[in-house]
A and B are shown apart, each in its own frame.
Chain A
Amino acid sequence: MSTTPTDLDALVAQKYRHGFVTDIESDTLPPGLDEDVIRLVSGKKREPAFMLDWRLKSYRHWLTMREPDWAHLRIAPIDYQAISYYSAPKKKDGPKSLEEVDPKLLATYEKLGVPLHERARLAGVAVDAVFDSVSVATTFKDRLAKAGVIFCPFSDAVRDHPELIERYLGSVVPHTDNYFAALNSAVFTDGSFVFVPKGVRCPMELSTYFRINAANTGQFERTLIVAEEGSHVSYLEGCTAPMRDENQLHAAVVELVALADAQIKYSTVQNWYPGDENGVGGIYNFVTKRGECRGANSRISWTQVETGSAITWKYPSCILTGENSVGEFYSVALANHYQQADTGTKMIHIGRNTRSTIVSKGISAGRGQNTYRGLVKILPSAEGARNYTQCDSLLMGDRCGAHTFPYMEIKNPTAVVEHEATTSKIADDQLFYCRSRGISEEDAVNMIVNGFCKAVFKELPMEFAVEAQNLLAVSLEGAVG
């Protein structure tokens, strides 16, 4: 049956579906990083002076830092001088509308299933698509503008709304925060900016698709979402990359700011190329994601489904500053073949009566290593704070690993902190039970895994919950049988 290592190898042998390369002329900087490169990138983007200053400040700080080594990961050394820090599809001027976007690019997104056209299947979802370093199209701009919502490529925001960028950029993740965040602050090329004004409920789901295409490039995008008092927004990002033998670096920063009574829901379906079944190639996904519930009664909710990348290193976190604010983290992380994931969250309770919920589901198969690392920190000011953490691991086969590192720092005696953790194997019993009812082994595995992940999937927007289920099924195809 399915549980012998050799059978599992077959399961793991499933193919990555987004591994094609688009043959498109691009404007790519030669590899290497110094202040001139940063000036060049900033110049290409026609950025205001404050932006360049910030980049240079970040770069100088980065030079003083060392790569972190505390994660439960084996990482081959990264040569930062071998990476190209800017790659953009060649074009005359920025596209004014979808009609002006290179048809090859549109075809790429079509292949990826990204609904760029406004008539597309997922009508009601506004999409910003980032290809290598630049944003190529943002749909539904007009309808959003009518509601007062700004949703645009980050580069546009720097030019069109410099006052907002200057006020909020780096206010949650400072340029000195960590090694990869400092690097990102120096060299980030594009990303998305969302601003939802006071009292506005964003009329549709917002979505960004990130795609790394060019070889030897890194992708350093920056996303900033600001939700003013009483506003609501739901945002989804999806990620894919071609299959390449070298590891490619993706070091993004996402900052969320929720003012009083505002709600931000941030969902990620991450399917970067994970490397082949021997662990060759794949994306290094080193991402800093953090949200601050700055105002009272605000809420930030992270939901992530992480099926891709050779190495994932990310901890979407919440700083709960406002009274009664709520932070949530729902995660499904899959590590198959030689994939490594070290992921989790930090919940920093500062305000009174702040609450946080953490639900983490880790699935390990093949030789995958899956680590949950989470911090719950309750400061002396956080009277009446509460946290609930549930952390479950599912193992398939006997050569993978699951690790759990929960950290708790409780500085206020009124806090209530709960932690539950389980580790289980996909039991032969469960598989046999389903099979003895006529259900094929593969369907049975999918059924059991989806059941395991249900608590997280139900947090995803409807359409994407279906996508996440399919993605998981594809990622485990052949894992047994």
Chain B
Amino acid sequence: MLSIRDLHARIGERKILKGLNLEVGAGEVHAIMGPNGSGKSTLASVLAGREGCEVTAGRVEYLGQDLLAMEPEERARAGVFLAFQYPVEIPGVNNAYLLKAALNAVRKPRGLPELDAFEFLALVREKMKLMQMDESFLNRGVNEGFSGGEKKRNEILQMALLEPKLAVLDETDSGLDIDALRVVAAGVTSLRAPDRAIVLVTHYQRLLDYIEPDFVHVLSDGQILKSGDRTLALELEKRGYDWVRQEAKVA
């Protein structure tokens, strides 16, 4: 589904990704772990098409298409979803309004009819139950005055609504207390599907207690140094990242 080859990217003058390779198949859950500054969030940003992350070399293929040539909104409509590490506040814009506009924008290229207000409300209410969100969220400004946990829930609510084929979750666990983490993780787990791939970018192992990944990758200094199954995450938890770097150097 997603094939990243020799990806180099920089922000300003700073080179961040330095030859990253990754293959993600449909139905798989991949965890990308790594120390601060290793390039995890940059990878997520490049996949979603954020301005300011300049790709200097490499290719990213998504369902046979050149992902890097697509505008952010085209990627979204083609089924790519990024759950933001820091969801953005848009004061005065009704949350429900954004959700409905987004949903109808991604339904169109799938050949689905636009949902009217009633159909939309029925659907969003069902998804909100899953995320244990109060209905009052619909009438508040987008992320306006939301707590950290509320913002992250709102991200996963959007994911549940938009039903992407490829979901990239950028540190969705950061800033969550243990209860919120459970809710968010349960939401994500319920969205696992044979035709959907999920890439979890995370700093800590604890999220993986709730969402069991098929593959774990260690990203350090812009490259994936080591890949394994979920036992690798447990080992990282115990031993930190340094030994992976040492191992890579020796190799």
Contacts and interface: CB of A to CB of B under 8 A. Distances in A.
Majority-rule SS of A interface residues: helix
Nearest to B50: A432
Contacts of A439: 73, 98, 101-102, 105
Interface stretch (B88-96, B174-182, B204-212): B88-96
A407 interface: no
Interface stretch (A128-136, A300-308, A383-391, A450-458): A450-458
B82 A438 contact: no
Contacts of B88: 427, 429-430, 432-433
Contacts of A429: 88
Given A439-B73, A439-B101, A447 B48 contact: no
A437 interface: yes
Given A427-B88, A447-B98, A447-B101, A435 B93 contact: no
Interface string A8-47: 0000000000000000000000000000000000000000
Nearest to A1: B51
A3 B50 CA distance: 13
A114 to B, nearest CB: 29
A4 B117 CA distance: 36
B87 interface: yes
A440 interface: yes
B93 A438 contact: no
B93 A436 contact: no
Nearest to A458: B92
B120 interface: no
A433 B73 contact: no
A433 B85 CA distance: 11
Interface in A54-73: none
A451 B105 contact: no
Contacts of B106: 437-438
B208 to A, nearest CB: 25
Given A428-B51, A447-B98, A435 B72 contact: yes
Contacts of B223: none
Interface string A101-122: 0000000000000000000000
B51 A452 contact: no
Contact of A433 (B49, B90, B101): B90
A129 B82 CA distance: 52
B141 interface: yes
Contacts of A441: 73
B18 interface: no
A434 B73 CA distance: 8
**SS class, residues of chain B in contact with chain A:** mixed
A435 B90 contact: no
Interface string B91-121: 1111001100110011000000000000000
Given A430-B90, A432-B72, A450-B92, A438 B162 contact: yes
Interface string B162-175: 10000000000000
Q: Which of B72, B77, B82 has the most CB of A within 10 A?
A: B72
Given A430-B88, A451-B90, A454-B92, A438 B105 contact: yes
Nearest to A481: B71
Given A427-B88, A447-B93, A452-B92, A437 B49 contact: no
B220 interface: no
A64 B213 CA distance: 83
Interface in A444-481: 447-448, 450-455
| Residue of B76, B90, B106, B141 contacting most chain A CB atoms (<10 Å) | B90
Given A441-B73, A452-B91, A454-B92, A436 B82 contact: yes
Contacts of B82: 436
Interface in A232-275: none
Contacts of B71: 435
B158 interface: yes
A448 B102 CA distance: 14
B120 to A, nearest CB: 14
A53 interface: no
A432 B84 CA distance: 11
A39 to B, nearest CB: 53
B76 A437 contact: yes
A399 to B, nearest CB: 19
Interface in A138-184: none
Contacts of B152: none
A222 to B, nearest CB: 36
Nearest to A455: B92
B101 A432 contact: no
Interface of A: 1, 3, 427-430, 432-441, 443, 447-448, 450-455
28 contacts: A432-B51, A432-B72, A432-B88, A434-B98, A435-B71, A436-B73, A437-B98, A437-B101, A437-B105, A437-B106, A437-B162, A438-B73, A438-B76, A438-B77, A438-B102, A438-B106, A439-B73, A439-B101, A440-B105, A447-B93, A447-B97, A447-B101, A448-B90, A451-B90, A451-B92, A451-B142, A452-B92, A455-B92
